[in-house]
Amino acid sequence: SPVTFKQELQSQEAEEGGSFTLRCELSKPGAPVEWRKGGMVLRSGEKYQMKQKAYTAELLIRNVQPQDSGDYSCVCGVHKTKAHIRVNAQPVTFRTKLKNQEAAEGGSVTLHCELSDPGAAVQWLKGAEVLKPGEKLHMRKNGNIAELCIKNLQPQDAGQYSCVTGEQKTTAEVNVKASPVTFKQELQSQEAEEGGSVTLRCELSKPGAPVEWRKGGMVLKSGEKYQMKQKASTAELLIRNVQPQDSGDYSCVCGVHKTKAHIRVNAQPVTFRTKLKNQEAAEGGSVTLHCELSDPGAAVQWLKGAEVLKPGEKLHMRKNGNIAELCIKNLQPQDAGQYSCVTGEQKTTAEVNVK
């Protein structure tokens, strides 16, 4: 008589990573059976173990995975019994979490974590922003290990990074040690002509780094005299209408670094804009000689012939802005002669006649 199933297979649920047994009972002891998953015949090995004792046939499935879910059947001749197995996947967890990292600006850093399931998909975030792979960000998965490599680190790359899978998340902090700004090109010492303008220029290792300009120890401010400009890595100081007193040491300071240069202003020679004019006056009267200089700060000396004159009751010397004056009082015949006003290499001369 044909062999039948006295007890059918029972559908079951199983937990991922565990094992389960399918069992049925035949109408004849020792009848040969075949186990199948879907249409595939199963063979004994690490995964499957088949046992038969008297009327009972068993299939043991070890280390069950989600892909082991499906329909299993036991076939004996023309008869078969079938059951459905559903495997409940274990939630993926992080076996090792991300660790905080620190690296120097311009360097790189690699964050890595280990997952319980090598097939789990992950997503990387910075704060709440989902990251995409590119030249800067390299994402890799090798078995259970997920890695994020951040290249050419900049200060703005610092922050919290997370790796997410399903409901699980691991987070770590990345710190970037900013490299100090240095001067790639130093200030150059220069000569400038009085009344002109001069530009000091230097180049920084980082664009937009804040700088301070100084003359000696004095911090300079933008205004009519000084104009500060910064474009990308270049910092400039423009000094307008340079005067001899603008000569000196100038520096550009950025953090702990500084670059220094000397400016020498070549003074324009002082000239006489208007010269002395010949004068005539009566004995006992007075006369005033005057001339106009190009520089109100220029020092002058008065002479009669080759003799340097000194101020006193008779001689009054005055300077009012650009105008230099010599007043000779109580004129006597011996006061007649040539008078000169001298500044630097320049000289103007006039004749005084006494009637």
Q: Report pLDDT digits (tens) over 176-221.
A: 998 888 999 999 999 999 889 999 999 999 888 899 999 999 999 9
Distance of CA 276 to the CA centre of its chain: 65
- Cα(23)–Cα(6) distance, integer angstroms: 11
- Asked whether residue 1 carries a pLDDT value surpassing 80, the answer given is no
With beta carbons less than 8 A apart as the criterion, state whether 237 and 228 touch: yes
Question: Residue range 113-130: average pLDDT?
Answer: 93
Smallest CA-to-CA distance from 32 within 1, 74, 72 is with 74
Smallest CA-to-CA distance from 352 within 334, 341, 339, 342 is with 339
* pLDDT tier, 60 (very low <50, low <70, confident <90, very high otherwise): very high
Q: In b/e form, how buried is each residue of 17-38, taking b as 16+ CB within 10 angstroms?
A: eeebebbbebeeeebebebbbe
Question: Residue range 157-175: average pLDDT?
Answer: 95
Strands laid side by side in the 198-204 sheet: 183-185, 198-204, 234-239, 226-231
pLDDT tens-digit map of 310-343: 999 999 999 999 999 999 999 999 999 999 999 9
Tell me the average pLDDT of the chain: 94
Higher pLDDT, 36 or 117: 36
246 in helix, strand or coil?
Answer: helix
- Asked whether residue 97 carries a pLDDT value surpassing 80, the answer given is yes
Structural domains in the chain, sorted by start: 5-88 (2.60.40.10), 94-177 (2.60.40.10), 183-266 (2.60.40.10), 272-354 (2.60.40.10)
pLDDT at 54: 92
With beta carbons less than 8 A apart as the criterion, state whether 204 and 184 touch: yes
pLDDT at 345: 87
**β-strand 40-41 against 168-177: which pairing, if any?**
unpaired
Q: What is the pTM of this model?
A: 0.47
* pLDDT tier, 2 (very low <50, low <70, confident <90, very high otherwise): confident
End-to-end CA distance of the chain: 171
Determine what percent of the chain is predicted with pLDDT higher than 90. Answer: 85
With beta carbons less than 8 A apart as the criterion, state whether 3 and 31 touch: yes
With beta carbons less than 8 A apart as the criterion, state whether 354 and 304 touch: no
pLDDT at 89: 84
Instruction: Output 314-322 pairs: Cβ under 8 A, ≥24 positions apart.
Output: 321/296, 322/273, 322/292, 322/293, 322/294, 322/295, 322/296
Q: Which residue shows structure tokens 């423009």?
A: 238
- Asked whether residue 37 carries a pLDDT value surpassing 80, the answer given is yes
